[in-house]
Structure 1
Amino acid sequence: MEKNKKVLVIGGGIIGLSCAYFLQKEGYEVTVLDKSNIDSGASFVNAGYLTPSHIVPLASPGMISKGIRYMFNSSSPFYMKPRLDLEFLKWSWYFKKSSTKAKVEKAMPIIRDINLFSKELYEGIKSSGDLGEFQLENKGLLMVYQTEKERDHEMEVAKKASELGLEVYHLDKEGLRKAEPQIEFNAKGAIHYFCDWHTTPGQFMEFMMGHLLKKGVKINRNEAVVDIETNGDRLLRVVTDQSSYQADEVILAAGSWTSQLAKSLGLKLPMQAGKGYRINVEAPTNISTPAILLEAKMAVTPMHGFTRFAGTMEFSGINNTIRKERVAAIAAGAERFYQGLKISEEDKSKAQCGLRPVTPDGLPYIGKTSKFDNLTIATGHAMMGWSLGPATGKLVTEIISGKNPSMDLEAFHPQRSF
């Protein structure tokens, strides 16, 4: 490694900050750029899960037909807004091609491995004391069901997870009561994935930024990239609306905006923004264990100082429009499962959304392209961005350092075919 090698990270979400964390540990001089104030978006509104149990990619059999079925219902859990957009139509075709049983079977162990690797790195960050005392708890994840149909479907996933070596149990109604003794569920039971952990995203992001600044990483907020100058197979200069930067290595980790920046470089990264919503409830709920409410297709997480109710996957392009009917659907779903729970109008009015970058096959893009020697792509993590932040940061650092990566990166290649 060249001494004081300069690395520019475009994107200050969990992926970008995780890259900065491991790069500065290797002795690189790191600058992070973000067009926002780094206090909102997908890295702040997610469910906070570290999820080895989420072994099935979004692109799985039946999802396209679900999307078509839900297309004209804007409060549905999986909403694809009808629109004549060539990029969206291409992505939808690739998504359909990726949604086969064989491709899903091939993806599952890869998803498990990168999630377990990332969980170990989260534990390493915690034990290092670098960030101070942030929430990182291992209470597992309850997949709570109200119908036999959802139970049977989740039992199939649980069987595969168990075969892949993950710790999973089936809880009947009494078992669910023991797992959450202070809660009365309107449910028949749950699958308990004990391998999962949870955090409070905003807390972790704040602590991570504080640590990086202390270590000399520059974090430049509210600065948008307007041009990237190239010469042959090198990126020469990154121009923003405020300044310009030269770096030995550039990492493109701008989440849902990465495709636009890649396009300006002549690179195709098929990706769509999948909008998710969250409601925070500060009043006590007695909820102590994270849960996915299967029929409602939503997540519940006890966080540091509040309970988060999150969910939905909305494909409606890059925008931060909050659809009130989708927020209402999350609140109603939670109230159907937790007896006595009432989410106030005030809590609903403070709902926020974030855009998750979704690839056609549900696997992220991590690696270099054949076009530029000093560019590394790190994006496309869909609903697993929070879970996979540290793993991606570590892998990117290994790529830039020329070390053997901790995982085979072939499945994540930015130029893979669909």
Structure 2
Amino acid sequence: MKPTVVIGGGVVGLFTAYFLQQQGEEVIVVDKGDMEENCSTGNAGMIVPSHIVPLASPGMISKGVSWMFSSKSPFYIQPRLDRRLIDWCLQFYRHSNAKHVQQSIPYLKGISLYSKQLYLDFVAEHGNEAIKLQDRGLLMLYKTKEGEKDEAALANLARESGLNAEILSKEDIGKLEPNQEVDVRGGVYFPDDAHLSPRDLYRLLKTHLQEQGVMLKSNVTITGVEKNGRKIKAVITEGGKIDCDHLMVCAGSWSGEVAKMLGFRLPMMGGKGYSFELPNTPELKQASILTEARVSQSPYGGKVRFGGTMEISNHVDMVNIRRVQGIFESIKAYYPEFKAEFPAQDSIWKGMRPCSPDGLPYIGKAPGWENVAFGAGHSMMGVSLAPATGKLLADLKIGKLGELKMDAFAVDRYARK
């Protein structure tokens, strides 16, 4: 039997390999990068069943237009003549409505809760010392009346959907952050959310897979595929051919390019984000999102990671320092006593998050192919949804169908339009 090849060595690809290997299958993971630093290592590490509203939602259009005019704003689209970008933006606009949000909620809720449980199972098997999972919930902090209105509406929506959500006063928040003044109007607490160390999770997954005989191949450039009817026989790379029985595409923001090789359309844009770590002084205890600034804050004992921005851009390797300044300035706005020094440029992480135009991931079989599946387009929720995506793809490989609703994640939802 030939191996299953997983294209993409990020956390989604590694969890896919993890569950395939558990089924006793031979697996090869290939990645175009060095498998050291990627979107799986520098993000906030949040596990967020509370995030039931997709990126494409009514408020994003009005806010996005105003943000376009600020160099420090949380959202930016680099203007350029690019047919793929224009198409993506049109699709994003068409999906930014209340009907799409309501239709998406049960799907996002289902896969998020499933993923959270798989994380708890993972910790039960491998221990928590390495990945530092903190099952302490998430705070959504707001400073303005508008922010209060938006977050209260989200809390009510979450409750109506069967999730736990608590609206907190500034005094309530002070009890969760006893070491800090938190300069906010209030917040919403989602007790069922969690966070972990994404870099440590990534290292643990790589080590475990290698110990189990999974081959990890870095710096591999894929140039094509070898076909036999409706099946892929091999992946063609600059270094030679890799035979395969099945192909799992978990290539993040580059998954659209692989889809193009396979002859179908998969709208995807890279949304660049930035993060940096600072000494956690005075110590923050609670993972939070600073809602008006769209900045995440994840504490890990002596360190805390701040991250944010969504920059739809072609400049993969460039750090836009003005956007990093926007993240940095939000720290003092919410935590005036926090001792923050602007990070050195070489310590600023950057990564391209894979964004579908409707804000939902692509998970399932590839159109026109019997032995190809995709798991991509998770936007800012790659770490949160990685275990569920990997398990669903592994189950799909052996024809196992679960109870989770999946049709909203169909890989061919744009290919058939």
The answer to whether TM tops 0.5 is: yes
Matching residue's letter, 1:403: K
**Equivalence for 1:78:** 75
Of 74-83 and 279-288, deviating more is 279-288
Structure 1 residue 255, shift from structure 2 partner: 0.2
TM-fit CA distance, 1:164: 1.4
Instruction: Please say if residues 361 and 375 of structure 2, whose CA atoms lie closer than 8 Å, have aligned partners that are also in contact.
Output: yes
Q: Are residues 206 and 131 of structure 1, via their aligned partners in 2, closer, same or farther at CA, if it must alter by over 3 Å?
A: farther
Question: Which position in structure 1 is the counterpart of 2:211?
Answer: 214
Aligned partners of 2:151 and 2:187 also within 8 Å: no
Task: Give matches, 1:61-76, under 5 Å.
Answer: 61-76=58-73
Equivalence map 1:51-66=2 (5 Å): 51-66=48-63
User: SS of the residue aligned with 1:273?
Assistant: strand
Query: C-alpha distance in 2, partners of 1:293/1:372?
Result: 43
The residue type equivalent to 2:372 in the other structure is L
CA distance in 1, matches of 2:150, 2:9: 37
1:254-403 alignment runs, 5 A limit: 254-303=251-300, 305-317=302-314, 319-347=316-344, 349-403=346-400
Deviations 1:273-316 (A, max 9, x none): 11111011135340110000111111000126520000011111
Aligned to 2:172: 175
Q: 2:237: which partner in 1?
A: 240
**In 2 relative to 1, CA 202–237 (structure 1 residues): closer, same or farther, beyond 3 Å?**
same
Q: How many residues align?
A: 415
Distance 1:170 1:132 in 2: 32
CA RMSD between the two structures:
1.6
In the TM superposition, what are the counterparts of 1:121-140 in structure 2 within 5 Å? 121-129=118-126, 133-140=130-137
Kindly report which structure 2 residues correspond to 1:44-193, keeping only aligned pairs within 5 A, or say none.
44-129=41-126, 133-193=130-190
> What is the deviation of 1:406?
4.3
Q: Paired residue for 2:225?
A: 228
Cα distance in 2, alignment partners of residues 361 and 234 from structure 1: 29
Deviates more, 1:94-103 or 1:127-136: 127-136
Identity of aligned residues (%): 39
CA contact (8 A) 2:9 2:31 kept: yes
Distance 2:59 2:159 in 1: 23
Larger mean CA deviation between 114-123 and 5-14 belongs to: 5-14
Aligned match of 1:409 in 388, 394, 406?
406
* Structure 1 partner of 2:34: 37
> In structure 2, what residue type is equivalent to 1:149?
E
**1:232 corresponds to which letter in structure 2?**
G
Give me the whole-angstrom Cα distance separating, in 2, the residues matched to 1:269 and 1:304. Answer: 40
2:195 paired residue number: 198
2:282·2:339 contact (CA, 8 Å) conserved in 1?
no
Give CA-to-partner distance per residue, 1:99-122, whole Å, 9 cap, x none. Answer: 110111110121111000000000
User: Letter of the aligned partner of 1:401 in structure 2?
Assistant: I
Question: Cα distance 1:294–1:132, how it changes in 2: closer, same or farther (>3 A)?
Answer: closer
Which deviates more from structure 2 when the two are superposed, residues 397-406 or residues 381-390?
Answer: 397-406
Per-residue CA distance 1:45-72 (angstroms, 9 max, x = gap): 1110000111110000132333333334
Query: 2:40 aligns to what SS in structure 1?
Result: helix
